[in-house]
Amino acid sequence: MRQALSTSAPAEQATKTPSRFGPYDLVRILGQGGMGAVYEAWDSRTDTRVAIKVLRRDDAVSCERFRREIQVLKRLRHKGVVSFLQDGDCGPRMPWFAMELLQGRTLRDYNSELWSQSARDAITLPVHVVGDYDEPIHVCSPRSGPREVSPVASRLKEIGRLYEQVFRAVERIHAEGVTHGDLSPTNVFVRADGSPVLLDFGLAAPGRSEVVPDKDENALQPIAGTAHYLAPEQIRRERIEPRTDLYSLGCMIYETLTGTPPFDALEAAAVLRAHVDLRPTRLSAFWPRIPAALEDLVFSLLEKQQQDRPRSAGIVADRLALIVASEEHGSAGTHQQSLRSCAAIAAGGQRVEAA
C-alpha cells in the first residue's frame, strides 16, 4: 500500500550471498528492507525451518548496527518479539543470525488487505498543499469527503486488540531498557493467530534514554529509518527515548485506521518536514464515526514534543483495551455524537457539569 520512503541508502553488499549459513541451507528469500535480507532456511539436523537475516551492506555503520541488533535480540525473550536462535559470521563484515520463522504477514500486508478495496482511492487522493515552503508538502485528505462506512468499521475491535498487543510488546521492550527506534508496518509481523511480533532491532537504542552517540558524529550520518514513521526528535537528531516509539506507533495506527499515513509526499524530505512542523488531518475527516476516544489517543501519540505524548506504552495499551470494551458494549462516543451534543447545548440544552 505505502511505498517505503527510506531516508538512507548505504552501499549494498557486492559479494554474493552464500547458500549455507552455519547449519542452515537457504531455501528462498522472504523479504528485504533497508539493511538486510531475510531468507527461509532449513536445518537438516533437526528438519526444521528457520529465518536467517543477512546484512546486505558492507559499511562499518551498518555492520555495527547489525551486531547491535543481534545483541538486543539475544536479550529480549518475549512472545511479542521474534525469537533469536543462533548467530555467526561468513566473513569479516558478513554477520548473520537465525531466528524463528514467522507464519503470517507483515502489518503492511495487513493494512493492504484491510484497505484493498480502497487502494485505488489512496493512490489518487487529492493533496492539500500546506505551508510556506520552497517545495509544497502534500498532506493526504479524504478523496470524496468523509466515509460514512469505513472498511475499518466492522473490524475496529480486531484492530484495537491487535494494537493493544503491539503496545504491550513495546511496553515490555521498554521495560528491558530498549527503544526500538524503527517501528514501521514492515517491522511488525502479524502471526496467523492475529498476535503481533516486533522485528528488526537494527536501530534500537539499548539504554532507557539513549540516542545514536554523539550529536556531531551523528550529524554526519544520514537519518535512518522509514520517513513516514519517524518522530520529530529523530529528524532533529535529538535524544530518542521510549516515547519516540510511541510517535511511530501513532503514525502506524493512523495509517491502519485511515488507509494513509499522517504525512505523505513524493519526496522523503517533505515528509520529514511535515513531521516536524505540521498537524495531521483529523481522523474523523476520513471517518466521522470513529470513536472520539480513539481519535484523541492517536493524536496524543502524534504530539511533536515527547513530554506531551502518553507517558508509557502500557498506558496506551490500557486505553485501547477500554476503547475495545466500550465498542463491545456499543457505548463508544463518536464525533458525530459529540457534535450532536454540542448542537443540543447551543440550542438551549442543559450542560451537565461534572461534580
Ligand X SMILES: Nc1ncnc2c1ncn2[C@@H]1O[C@H](COP(=O)(O)OP(=O)(O)O)[C@@H](O)[C@H]1O
Which residues of the shown chain bind ligand X in the complex (CB under 6 A)?
30-36, 38, 51, 53, 82, 99-102, 106, 186-187, 199-200, 202
Whole-number minimum distance, CB 24 to ligand X, in Å? 13
Q: Does 264 bind Mg ion (CB under 5 A)?
A: no
Partner interacting with residue 142 (select from Mg ion, ligand X, none; CB below 5-8 Å by kind): none
Of 234, 22, 3, 28, nearest in space to 112 by CA: 3
Measured at CB, which residue is nearest to Mg ion?
33
* Phi, psi values for residue 114, rounded to 5°: -60, -40
**Cα three-residue angle 116-121-125, rounded to 5 degrees:** 140
Task: For strands 48-55 and 24-32, give the pairing.
Answer: unpaired
Identify the helix (H) or strand (E) that includes residue 25: strand 24-32
Give residues with Cβ within 8 angstroms of 172, minimum separation 6.
Answer: 76, 78, 80, 81
Partner interacting with residue 82 (select from ligand X, Mg ion, none; CB below 5-8 Å by kind): ligand X
Q: Output the nine-digit C-alpha cell for 219.
A: 550529524
Whole-number minimum distance, CB 192 to ligand X, in Å? 12
**Cα three-residue angle 192-194-200, rounded to 5 degrees:** 80
Phi/psi-derived region of residue 29, left when phi > 0, alpha when psi is between -120 and 50, beta in every other case: beta
Whole-number minimum distance, CB 292 to ligand X, in Å? 33
DSSP-derived secondary structure letter, 261: -
Q: Does 171 bind Mg ion (CB under 5 A)?
A: no
Partner interacting with residue 106 (select from ligand X, Mg ion, none; CB below 5-8 Å by kind): ligand X
Note whether 135 and 267 are within 8 A (CB).
Answer: yes
Whole-number minimum distance, CB 272 to ligand X, in Å? 19
Q: CB-wise, 61 or 293, nearer to ligand X?
A: 61
Whole-number minimum distance, CB 334 to ligand X, in Å? 34
Please state, in angstroms and rounded to a whole number, the distance separating the CA atoms of residues 198 and 192. 15
Count of residues near Mg ion by CB under 5 A: 3
Of 129, 146, 125, 147, nearest in space to 138 by CA: 129
Whole-number minimum distance, CB 159 to ligand X, in Å? 20
Q: Does 33 bind Mg ion (CB under 5 A)?
A: yes
Partner interacting with residue 36 (select from Mg ion, ligand X, none; CB below 5-8 Å by kind): ligand X
Q: CB-wise, 261 or 291, nearer to Mg ion?
A: 261
Note whether 188 and 199 are within 8 A (CB).
Answer: yes
Tell me the three state secondary structure of residue 14: coil
Partner interacting with residue 202 (select from ligand X, Mg ion, none; CB below 5-8 Å by kind): ligand X
Q: Output the nine-digit C-alpha cell for 191.
A: 502471526
Q: Does 200 bind Mg ion (CB under 5 A)?
A: yes
Whole-number minimum distance, CB 260 to Mg ion, in Å? 20
Q: Does 241 bind Mg ion (CB under 5 A)?
A: no
Q: Segment contacting Mg ion (CB under 5 A): 79-87, 187-195, 205-213, 344-352? A: 187-195
Q: Does 187 bind Mg ion (CB under 5 A)?
A: yes
Q: CB-wise, 200 or 245, nearer to Mg ion?
A: 200
- Interface residue list for Mg ion (CB under 5 A): 33, 187, 200
